[in-house]
Structure formats: C-alpha cells, structure tokens
Structure 1
Amino acid sequence: MVMNVVVQDSVKELRHVINEYASRIASIPDAEMSVKPRPEKWSKKEVVGHLVDSAQNNLRRFICGQYESNPSISYEQDFWVTANAYQHMTTSDVINLWKLLNERISVILETMPSENYERQCIAGGHARTLAWLAQDYVKHLKHHLNQIIPNAFDIKYP
C-alpha cells in the first residue's frame, strides 16, 4: 500500500505526538490538570477530554468517510466535554483514553486504501478530503496541546 505524503506525514507526526506527549502530560500534577482558569473555561484535564472527543469524532470520519458518500459528522464540543464529565475522571484514565484512540487513528490512517484518501466527509459544514482531515486533525491536536504544555508546538490554528 502506498500512502500519500500528506497522510504519511500526518501518521508519522501523530505517532510522535502520542509517544512524546502522553508521558509529558502524565507528569503534570493532578492538581494542576484539574484547575479551571475560570468557571466557564476548561481545565487542562478537560482539554485532554476534548481531544478524546475529537479523536472519537475523527475516528468516525476516517472510517465512515471510506464507505459513505459525504457523511456529515460534527459535534458540539462543550456539550461533549460536559457530558463526558472528564473533570471527574482520573487524569491517568483521560490520558490513556486519549492515547489509545490516537493509536487507533494512526492504524486506520496507515491501513486505509490509498484510493480513499480523496474521499470526502462533511466536517464543520465543509466537504473535506480524508487526507485533509488527517492533516488538520494533527494541527488541531497540537493547538490544544499548547494549552496544556505552553509553546510545545510552533503552530497557528486554524
């Protein structure tokens, strides 16, 4: 199987982020992970939870996008974070869930037949190729990791 360069780079970068940052996040004291800067803002633990939700929704995009015609998969991020009650989970469970979901995404992207990279999925009201979504997924991930570990990545998103 030949991966296109965008997907190949996305998988490589995603694996690097998983391997490097799961342990870095886990080293942050639980008290720091649980602090909410303001009542309406997410704690660092909830930011990881948001990344779990993003992983779940993108996992669905990467799978359904391969066999459905223009599936529309979106989610209300604040509702998902609240409904999942990440603030009340142990930090290690949230991190492990994030890590496992991202490992699964890496495998799905890596084993996806190359003819499916240009298939489209509706995300955020826009038709996007699965290759574009893979690249954007990693950018989004880095953007939020910068909220947990400031200046971890030199990235502007969106």
Structure 2
Amino acid sequence: MSPIEQRIAEVSTFWRSLSEDELQRRPSPNKWSKKEILGHLIDSAQTNIRRVVVAQHQPGAHIVYEQNAWVQAADYQTYPSNELLQLWVLLNRHFARLATQVPTAQLSSLINWGRDKPELVSLGLVIEDYLTHLDHHLGQLYHTGSV
C-alpha cells in the first residue's frame, strides 16, 4: 500500500467514526473545523495536481493558493461530510497516480509557488512536500481539529 493509500484508509476510518457535530465544531471562531481542514486538503490536492501537470509543460509557471479565502469560498463547513471525504479520497488517488507517472528527467522541472515573491522549486520537491503538508494537517485533524 502506498503512503497516500495508507493515509486514505486511516482518514476514512477516522472520519466515519465522528458525528456531524464533531466534524463541524470549531475550537474557536478563528480556527477551522475538521470539515474545513479536510476542505483545505482538497484545495491542496487540486493545487498540487495542477503543479505536477503544469511543471512538466510550462516550467516556471506561477501556481499558488490562498488557503483561508479558498476554504471560505468553498464553504466546506456546510458540505455533505460523506461527499467531502469522497472528494478528498479521489483527489489524493489522482495525485498519487500523477506523481508516479512523472518521468525522472521532469522531477527537476521548476514551478513557482511563491506567494509574495518568486520561489522556484523543483517538481520533485512539490511531490515530496505534498506528504509533509498532508501529514501536518492530518495531525491537526486527529488531535486538535483546528488550524
């Protein structure tokens, strides 16, 4: 089982064990609920899928995302919980599939993910960082449920 498939299995079991109240509860007005954390991870998956594809064909392209604005705009808090989980699962499977298909020579292709100033990083780093970022937020999902 791949690292992403392991996380999908763990999150799916955890998610289904929680009530809707637990999924929607915000620890404080400024913190994300578990649904919003998963929504953020959906946005992250979509953004990184785009980075993986674009870096191979348009090196240096600028792809960033504004996490708070996107979570609010998508209104993940009111999204049906089972559909939210399904969307996250499918996007992660898609990301994993794409990441394994990148030719080795393309892993050094650059993408700009800098928000306020250019920050060129390799496609290999984008793929590696995806799991690090995912694990960071999964820790919040499991333990505190807040960002």
Q: TM-score, normalised by structure 1?
A: 0.84
Letter of the structure 2 residue corresponding to residue 32 of structure 1: E
Residue 66 of structure 2 corresponds to 76
SS of residue in 2 equivalent to 1:108: helix
d(CA) in 1 for partners of 2:141, 2:59: 36
Residue 39 of structure 1 corresponds to 29
Correspondence 1:91-106 to 2 at 5 A: 91-106=81-96
Are residues 1:23 and 2:13 paired?
yes
What do residues 9-49 of structure 1 show as CA deviations (whole Å, max 9, x unaligned)? Answer: xx932222123222222222211010011122110110000
d(CA) in 2 for partners of 1:42, 1:87: 9
Residue 136 of structure 1 corresponds to 129
Are residues 1:117 and 2:102 paired?
no
Letter of the structure 1 residue corresponding to residue 120 of structure 2: A
Residue 12 of structure 1 corresponds to 2
Letter of the structure 1 residue corresponding to residue 127 of structure 2: A
Residue 49 of structure 1 corresponds to 39
Contact 1:25 1:148 in 2 (8 A): no
More helix by share: 2
Contact 1:26 1:95 in 2 (8 A): no
d(CA) in 2 for partners of 1:131, 1:14: 16
Q: CA RMSD in A?
A: 1.6
124-133 vs 39-48, greater mean Cα deviation: 124-133
What do residues 94-122 of structure 1 show as CA deviations (whole Å, max 9, x unaligned)? Answer: 11111100000010011122211111111
Q: Aligned residues: percent identity?
A: 34
SS of residue in 1 equivalent to 2:143: coil
Are residues 1:90 and 2:80 paired?
yes
Q: What count of residue pairs does the alignment treat as equivalent?
A: 141
Q: Which runs of 5+ in 1 are unaligned?
A: 1-10, 152-158
d(CA) in 1 for partners of 2:34, 2:26: 8
Q: Which runs of 5+ in 2 are unaligned?
A: none
Q: TM-score, normalised by structure 2?
A: 0.90
Contact 1:116 1:130 in 2 (8 A): yes
d(CA) in 2 for partners of 1:83, 1:16: 29
